[in-house]
């Protein structure tokens, strides 16, 4: 199978170093349209759809294979190999942040930097850990998806977007959810919300930027602090915005934070 066609890979930009952007649950590569173009002058921008999402090859989605995030990480690595990428920058939103973590652990030479946008290694609360949800909350969420996916989408997207004053953003996210194959979405949701990648974090050796939103119902501020503590070479930036999708709701400050991480201003020495 052509892995580039499978993941609907699109390449643009003029740089020699690549930036690989990967979307979150229920979304597709279009969600990066307000951020990715800002990097095309200096980077080769690579956009893709996770298998099962967007314009990817839906027939390639095997629930048995994609029963954990490692299979998606392998898909990312397949794409990087097909494009002969090394020393690339990985930018992943939400669940794809953890997919990028797994890929970087498996193939450290592929990525020189990780940018994790609104990441969470575990959504469930645990002893000494705040993930944001109790087990009953997640089970209710998944049961509602099973019974009425479109109704669930309409109810949950305002909470995920977090900007009641900007209904067009919520409508876009809801449309993206509704255009996702419901069977695949329900399966991927269970994999996503029941995953636990906390033990993987100390294995990351790639310099990492953690972008945390100040008010995020899916990933509380405590989650960003946990990631920063567990990933040795990491920076934590708390964006002054609400919701779980700063690349859509606050693209300017998202771009600024990523550029500051990738292209730090050199210090001026005094004479």
Sequential pLDDT tens for the chain (271 residues)? 699 999 999 999 999 999 999 999 999 999 999 999 999 999 999 999 999 999 999 999 999 999 999 999 999 999 999 999 999 999 999 999 999 999 999 999 999 999 999 999 999 999 999 999 999 999 998 999 889 988 888 888 988 898 888 889 889 888 888 888 999 999 999 999 999 999 999 999 999 999 999 999 999 999 999 999 999 999 999 999 999 999 999 999 999 999 999 987 665 555 5
Q: What is the pLDDT of residue 265?
A: 64
Q: What is the pLDDT of residue 38?
A: 98
Q: What is the pLDDT of residue 174?
A: 87
CA-CA distances (angstroms) from residue 242 to 10, 38, 99, 239, 246?
A: 30, 22, 23, 8, 8
Active site residue: 93, 216, 234, 242, which one? 216
Q: What is the pLDDT of residue 267?
A: 53
CA 71 to chain CA mean position, Å? 15
- Which pTM does this prediction carry? 0.95
- Note if 12 is an active site residue: no
Active site residue: 23, 72, 244, 247, which one? 244
Q: What is the pLDDT of residue 165?
A: 87
- Note if 94 is an active site residue: yes
Active site residue: 7, 56, 72, 94, which one? 94
- Note if 240 is an active site residue: no
């Amino acid at each position: 199978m052509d892995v580039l066609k499978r993941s609907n890979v699109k390449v643009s930009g003029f740089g020699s170093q690549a930036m690989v952007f990967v979307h979150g649950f229920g979304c597709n590569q279009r969600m990066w349209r307000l951020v990715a173009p800002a990097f095309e002058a200096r980077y080769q921008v690579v956009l893709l759809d996770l298998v099962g999402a967007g314009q990817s090859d839906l027939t390639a989605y095997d629930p048995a294979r994609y029963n954990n995030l490692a299979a998606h990480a392998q898909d990312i690595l397949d794409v990087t190999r097909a494009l002969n990428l090394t020393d690339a920058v990985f930018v992943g939103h939400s669940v794809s942040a953890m997919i990028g973590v797994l890929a970087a652990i498996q193939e450290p030479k592929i990525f020189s930097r990780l940018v994790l946008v609104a990441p969470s290694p575990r959504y469930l609360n645990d002893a000494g850990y705040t993930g944001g949800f109790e087990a009953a909350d997640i089970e209710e969420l998944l049961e509602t998806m099973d019974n009425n996916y479109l109704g669930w989408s309409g109810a949950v997207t305002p909470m995920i977007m977090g900007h009641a004053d900007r209904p067009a953003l919520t409508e876009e996210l809801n449309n993206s959810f509704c255009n996702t194959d419901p069977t695949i979405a329900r399966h991927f949701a269970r994999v996503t919300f029941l995953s636990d990648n906390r033990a993987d974090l100390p294995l990351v050796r790639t310099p990492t930027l953690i972008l945390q939103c100040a008010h995020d119902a899916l990933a509380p501020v405590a989650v960003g602090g946990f990631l920063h503590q567990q990933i040795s070479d990491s920076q934590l930036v708390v964006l002054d915005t609400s919701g779980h999708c700063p690349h859509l709701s606050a693209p300017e400050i998202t771009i600024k934070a990523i550029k500051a991480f990738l292209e730090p201003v050199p210090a001026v020495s005094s004479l």
